[in-house]
Chain A
Amino acid sequence: GQNIDQPTEMTATEGAIVQINCTYQTSGFNGLFWYQQHAGEAPTFLSYNVLDGLEEKGRFSSFLSRSKGYSYLLLKELQMKDSASYLCAVRPNAGNNRKLIWGLGTSLAVNP
């Protein structure tokens, strides 16, 4: 089967750094996405990795190791507004098959 694992919950302190891990076992690999979802709102795109390595975008970075089936999202200089659920999703196939396999999300609470 296809599976994505993420921690269910994490807590961190304002101003700190937090790393949210994602491991995946899928039939193929054609990209990994991270989305942020605030309570009661829609998911919004954060980052995309298809090659091994680190992608940096402001306070957020995402890392991928395809050989290990592993990714992490790094959030620096945490702010209260970063309290949200972070969803990891993998696209197993290329071409017109656009389906994503979604993790259950990691609920991050940022405390003052």
Chain B
Amino acid sequence: NAGVTQTPKFRVLKTGQSMTLLCAQDMNHEYMYWYRQDPGMGLRLIHYSVGEGTTAKGEVPDGYNVSRLKKQNFLLGLESAAPSQTSVYFCASSDRDRGRFDEAFFGQGTRLTVV
């Protein structure tokens, strides 16, 4: 059982380049999230999804797009990378609240540097 898997683990981009981060979960979770984590800023929610085919904006959505075409996958796209998007990106998933708490399971993170 792999849990939540993110690819790639590391990436260096030049300003203006585009890329897609892939998140895959094998726990049949309904909810998926993309966070970024920066020193002194904590975890900030970029976008999230409450089910296949749905997406919603989080706290810091500008410059990012997402898609959830399949329940197990949640893609994060950067159309034109900027140095301000240098960060560690975490994907997470959680189950529908079935009368108990629904802790989030995190992927191992993607360290992105934009130069």
Contacts and interface: CB of A to CB of B under 8 A. Distances in A.
Binding between chains A and B? yes
Contacts, number: 45
Given A50-B101, A99-B48, A43 B42 contact: no
Interface of A: 31, 33, 41-45, 48, 50, 87, 89, 96, 98-100, 102-105
B31 A98 contact: yes
Interface string B53-73: 000001000000000000000
A96 B45 CA distance: 15
Contacts of A103: 42
Given A42-B90, A42-B108, A98-B48, A33 B103 contact: yes
Contacts of B31: 98
B106 A102 contact: no
Contacts of B33: 98
Interface residues of B, number: 22
A105 B94 CA distance: 21
Contacts of A98: 31, 33, 48, 50, 94, 102
A98 B33 CA distance: 9
B74 to A, nearest CB: 13
A45 B109 contact: no
